[in-house]
A and B are shown apart, each in its own frame.
Chain A
Amino acid sequence: MKKYTVTPSPHLRSGASTTRIMFHVILATVPAMAASAVFFGWRALMLIGFCAVSAMVWERLCNLLMKRPDSTNDLSSLVTGILLAFNLPATLPLWCAAIGTFVAIVITKQLFGGIGQNFANPAIVGRIVLMLSFTGRMTDWMIPNGVDAVSSATPLVTGDVSYFDLFIGRCGGCLGETSAAALLLGGIYLVAVKVITPHAPLAFIGTVYALSAITGRDPIYQILSGGLMLGAIFMATDYVTTPSTKMGRAIFGMGCGMITCVIRFWCSAPEGVSYSILLMNIVTPYIDMLCRKRAVGGIYRREKKEAQK
């Protein structure tokens, strides 16, 4: 008898795929890449390229070592590499960057089971490890458009950069985080193609704005400087390490905003975006538990007991 393909329903699938989502994210990082090239020069682009390639190499090596199927084609490691590069100063030596991508891909992601299984954002962990290990090199900000390797401080510390320079990104900082305009453009693109929902970024940025205003600091300066835009748009919206409901994402964003402000205002560290996201990554399962959706027409145990009374 002739054989037919018998599969469970549905017999129709949408065109969405993990690879396509990651491709959209990569497209959304292009404006920020361009801005980094403009302000920090060719070295920035080279660092981004190096991080992207080394992340994919680590991923492939892990696949081979762990005898897992090739997962480089889902492009998620490429995204991690680019985002990690965005968190590095343009002057960072390549071997440091390689350590960063190793921590991100091998330790944070693959050792926990690969895509979808990691509890913390790989790029954030990579950055934090580099920051703690090579504090000097990691804060060796270059003055944009100036002579190579002239050290300066981040505008979060100096506090003397104009709003316009902060907005377009003409200030010291990590290579991908300075240009709020380019990052916003990417964020709007991601919302438009429905890759992310705006809940977490809006809650994050809104909370920082509100807390800065309440504590008498300049709110616009706070939201435009440091890694806030990068963190809110690209890191706090990572699917794997943030809650999966809209409500949960809003709570996640608010939590990130609060921790960021506490670190920025009252701790010795100048910047708190990465720590805040890492800390909120850890509580994500609890937020998810808290925001579990109620089924339409579902009767839950407590209500049943009340009904029996």
Chain B
Amino acid sequence: MRLNGIKLPHRKNTENCETETMPCPEKVVISMSQHIGAPAEPKVKAGDTVKVGTLIGDADTRMTCPVHSSVSGRVSRIGEMLLPNGKVCKTVEIEADGRQDLDEGIAPPVINDKQSLAAAVRASGCCGMGGAGFPTHVKLDYDENKTHIDTLIINAAECEPYITSDYRELMENSDRVIGGMKLISRVLDIRRVCIGIEENKPRAIKLFREKLADEKGFEVMKLRSSYPQGAEKVIAYNVTGHIIEEGRLPSDYGLIVMNSSTVGFVYDYSVKGIPFVERRVTVDGDAVGKPCNLRVPVGTQITDILRYTQTDIENMKRLIAGGPMMGISLYDPSLPVLKTNNAFLAFKSELPPQVQTNCIRCGRCIEACPLGLMPCEFERAYDRADRTALNRLKINLCMNCGSCSYVCPAKRPLAEKNQLAKGFALSPE
């Protein structure tokens, strides 16, 4: 069986843009909610002096990563911000002094077993860097009495158009990525490590094939360029043949799926001990004067990035955090960079007007859905408020990849309806 996928334009305009380090911004706004899971609580107060890597937020909940200062300077205030998902969270605003001194407490962690690896990863503040932002330490915190991890999948598919930040990690920091693969597989005693790269990145495939040629148990898998190849369930199936059933995690099947940049970061942290304070983002789109890959401190305001890349902010109509398929439209360019942001796309152009007609039942959305769902049926069931039908059609499995909306000739807002329907189906009657 082959999972469905769709062909998208690649538009990897920035694939050959070496990562530049953006100059330290004057001010950063660090959100206490960086990823899915519970937000952290600020651990500093206005007036405190912080350095790069100083812990500024944390919480005891399982799905929370600690948050660290990305600049050295002084906390100006504890504020609030409206996240693009509609929730309000606390922020720590820091005025940078430009010196970027490292916190004195920074030291490489001691990693010798699963517990110490998970603890170190948690302390680093690391969450998945591919976009969804699942806290990495939770992935490593499986019950070893119940399951043994036999395959580590490194997700380097990067199937969304425009984004090249993982690709640059592969090309610039291949040793770091391989180091991370080795570290995790050694500590967790994983026999098979597989890095999956889409076939539209032949240079990365070649590089990793060369570097991993003599390594036993390491392999490079060339994946078809089909969206959404990088979705966890899709890449897990294509690499191992395991179908991850609803309600279960990859670790139940002996798999861990990690993004290539995340693995690179974990290795870097194991060597240097510098927590997650900066990341690479792709900046592209027709409003951007200088499309590029940038290394920016977490909490940098997007306006600073847009100015640095000579973006036509005056005429910018749309700003998207993430890729064009699953990214979020931002309502305000002064929002800060989150740990999960892999790209910012700024467009001067609006989407061409979409002429909507009734559903013509062509079945294209059914052919497009990677999980074999029936988006057109979801829409009908949602419109007649039929919870039973929605649950029978497995609305809960929709991962909002947007393929159905992309292919729909009648231009129905299918992906949008799916999200509404999911919320409706899960809400109490």
A13 touches B406 (CB 8 A): yes
Known: A11-B318, A117-B358. 17 other contacts (CB 8 A): A4-B319, A5-B318, A8-B419, A11-B351, A12-B351, A14-B407, A17-B355, A17-B409, A17-B410, A17-B411, A73-B355, A116-B410, A292-B377, A295-B372, A297-B233, A297-B371, A299-B245
Q: Which residues of chain A are near B324, meaning CB under 8 Å?
A: 9-12
- Alpha-carbon separation in the docked complex, A18 to B327 (Å): 26
28 sample A-B contacts, Cβ–Cβ < 8 Å, listed by A number = A4-B319, A4-B330, A5-B329, A7-B329, A8-B415, A9-B402, A10-B415, A11-B325, A13-B352, A13-B406, A16-B407, A17-B411, A18-B409, A21-B360, A113-B358, A115-B360, A116-B357, A117-B358, A239-B361, A239-B362, A240-B361, A244-B361, A292-B374, A296-B237, A297-B233, A298-B246, A298-B394, A299-B246
A67 at the interface (CB under 8 A from B): no
A245 at the interface (CB under 8 A from B): yes
Q: Which residues of chain B are near A10, meaning CB under 8 Å?
A: 324-326, 402, 405-406, 415
Q: Chain A contact residues: over half helix, strand or loop, or mixed?
A: loop
Give B213-247 interface residues, CB cut-off 8 Å to A: 233, 237, 243-247
- Alpha-carbon separation in the docked complex, A20 to B357 (Å): 12
- B-facing mask of A54-75, CB < 8 A → 1, else 0? 0000000000000000010110
Min C-beta distance of A295 to chain B, whole Å: 4
Min C-beta distance of A139 to chain B, whole Å: 33
Give A8-60 interface residues, CB cut-off 8 Å to B: 8-14, 16-21
Q: What is the interface of chain B, defined by CB distance below 8 A to chain A?
A: 3, 8-9, 161, 233, 237, 243-247, 316-320, 324-333, 345, 350-352, 354-355, 357-364, 366, 370-374, 376-377, 393-394, 397, 400, 402, 405-411, 413, 415-416, 419
- Alpha-carbon separation in the docked complex, A295 to B377 (Å): 13
Q: Which residues of chain A are near B245, meaning CB under 8 Å?
A: 297-299
Min C-beta distance of B120 to chain A, whole Å: 32
**With A12-B161, A12-B406 given, is the CB distance from A296 to B329 under 8 Å?**
no
B410 touches A18 (CB 8 A): yes
- B-facing mask of A220-253, CB < 8 A → 1, else 0? 0000000000000000000110001110000000
B415 touches A9 (CB 8 A): yes
Q: Give the nearest-CB partner of A240 in chain B.
A: B361
Q: Chain B contact residues: over half helix, strand or loop, or mixed?
A: loop
**With A14-B406, A16-B407, A116-B357 given, is the CB distance from A9 to B363 under 8 Å?**
no
Q: Which residues of chain A are near B247, meaning CB under 8 Å?
A: 299
Q: Which residues of chain A are near B246, meaning CB under 8 Å?
A: 295, 297-299
B366 touches A21 (CB 8 A): no
Q: Which residues of chain A are near B357, meaning CB under 8 Å?
A: 18, 71, 74, 115-116
Q: Give the nearest-CB partner of B345 in chain A.
A: A11
A294 at the interface (CB under 8 A from B): yes
A6 touches B330 (CB 8 A): yes
B326 touches A9 (CB 8 A): yes
Min C-beta distance of A20 to chain B, whole Å: 7
Q: Which residues of chain B are near A21, meaning CB under 8 Å?
A: 360, 362, 409
Q: Give the nearest-CB partner of B243 in chain A.
A: A297
Q: Give the nearest-CB partner of B362 in chain A.
A: A239
